[in-house]
Amino acid sequence: MNPEIFTELSIILLITLVITGIIKILRQPAIIGYIISGIFAGPFVFNIISSHDTLYAFSQIGVALLLFLVGLNLNPKVIKDVGKISLVAGLGQVIFTTTIGFFIIRYFGFDNVTSLYMAIALAFSSTIIIMKLLSDKHDLETLYGKISIGFLIVQDFIAIFILLVISTLNSTGEVLSFTIGTILKGLGSLSILFLLTIYILPSLTNKIAKSQEYLLLFSITWCFIIASAFNYLNFSIEAGALLAGITLSMSPYHFEISSRLRPLRDFFLILFFIILGSEMVFSNVIQNLPAIIILSLFVLIGNPLIVMIIMGTLGYTKRNGFLCGLTVAQISEFSLILITLGISVGHLDKEVLSVVTKIGLITFAGSTYLIIYSNKIYSKISKYLQIFERKGSKVDEHKYHENDDHDIILFGYNRIGLDIMESLRKIKKKFLIIDYDPEIINRLSKEGYDCRYGDANDSELLNELNFSKAKMIISTIPLVETNLLIINKIKETNKKTIISVVAHEIEDAELLYEQGATYVIMPHFLGGQHFSTMIERNKLKMNKFLEEKIKHLEHLNKRKRINSRPLHHHR
**What is the per-residue DSSP string for 490-559?**
HHHH-TTSEEEEE-SSHHHHHHHHHHT-SEEE-HHHHHHHHHHHHHHHHTT-HHHHHHHHHHHHHHHHHH
Per-residue confidence (pLDDT) for residue 81, from 0 to 100: 54
The class level of CATH for 404-562 reads alpha beta
More confident residue, 413 or 500: 500
More confident residue, 328 or 173: 328
Q: Which of 199-208, 217-226, 403-412 has the highest mean pLDDT?
A: 217-226
Q: How many CA atoms lie within 13 A of 387 on its CB side?
A: 5
More confident residue, 394 or 200: 200
* pLDDT exceeds 80 at position 172: no
For 403, the 3-state DSSP assignment is: coil
Per-residue confidence (pLDDT) for residue 76, from 0 to 100: 53
Listed residue (74, 61, 1) closest to 261, CA to CA:
61
Q: Does the model's pTM come out above 0.85?
A: no
More confident residue, 422 or 26: 26
The pairs formed by 555-560 with CB atoms below 8 angstroms and a separation of 24 or more are 559/415, 559/418
* pLDDT exceeds 60 at position 445: yes
Per-residue confidence (pLDDT) for residue 404, from 0 to 100: 65
Give the angle subtended at the CA of 237 by the CAs of 232 and 238, to the nearest 5°: 155
Q: Where residue 123 falls among pLDDT bands split at 50, 70, 90?
A: very high
**E strand or H helix at 304, and its extent?**
helix 303-313
Query: If you average pLDDT over residues 85-113, what whole number do you get?
Result: 92
Contact 199, 271 (CB under 8 A): no
* pLDDT exceeds 90 at position 121: yes
Per-residue confidence (pLDDT) for residue 494, from 0 to 100: 80
* C-alpha distances out from residue 105 to 163, 280, 301, 363, 497, Å: 21, 19, 16, 17, 58
- State the Cα–Cα distance between residues 20 and 235, nearest whole angstrom: 35
* pLDDT exceeds 80 at position 504: yes
Listed residue (302, 279, 309) closest to 363, CA to CA:
302
Listed residue (488, 513, 491) closest to 500, CA to CA:
513
Largest CA distance in the chain: 81
* pLDDT exceeds 80 at position 347: yes
- State the Cα–Cα distance between residues 101 and 36, nearest whole angstrom: 26
Q: Domain boundaries in the chain?
A: 52-291+330-364, 404-562
**Residue-wise DSSP of 53-118:** HHHHHHHHHHHHHHHHHHHHT--GGGGGGSHHHHHHHHHHHHHHHHHHHHHHHHHTT--HHHHHHH
For 451, the 3-state DSSP assignment is: strand
Instruction: Encode pLDDT of 218-249 as tens digits.
Output: 999 999 998 888 888 777 787 788 888 888 88
- State the Cα–Cα distance between residues 192 and 16, nearest whole angstrom: 42
Per-residue confidence (pLDDT) for residue 107, from 0 to 100: 94
For 317, the 3-state DSSP assignment is: coil
Q: What is the 3-state secondary structure (H, E, C) of 17-49?
A: HHHHHHHHHCCCCHHHHHHHHHHHHCCCCCCCC
Contact 306, 374 (CB under 8 A): no
Instruction: Encode pLDDT of 537-551 as tens digits.
Output: 887 788 888 888 888
Per-residue confidence (pLDDT) for residue 562, from 0 to 100: 57
Per-residue confidence (pLDDT) for residue 21, from 0 to 100: 93
Per-residue confidence (pLDDT) for residue 324, from 0 to 100: 92
Contact 234, 170 (CB under 8 A): yes
Query: If you average pLDDT over residues 146-151, what whole number do you get?
Result: 83
- State the Cα–Cα distance between residues 76 and 73, nearest whole angstrom: 9
- State the Cα–Cα distance between residues 246 and 249, nearest whole angstrom: 5
Q: Where residue 63 falls among pLDDT bands split at 50, 70, 90?
A: confident
Per-residue confidence (pLDDT) for residue 120, from 0 to 100: 94
Across 88-102, 178-192, 464-478, least confident range: 178-192
DSSP H stretches of helix in 327-452 = 333-344, 350-372, 374-381, 415-426, 438-446
- Beta bridge partners, 553, equal none
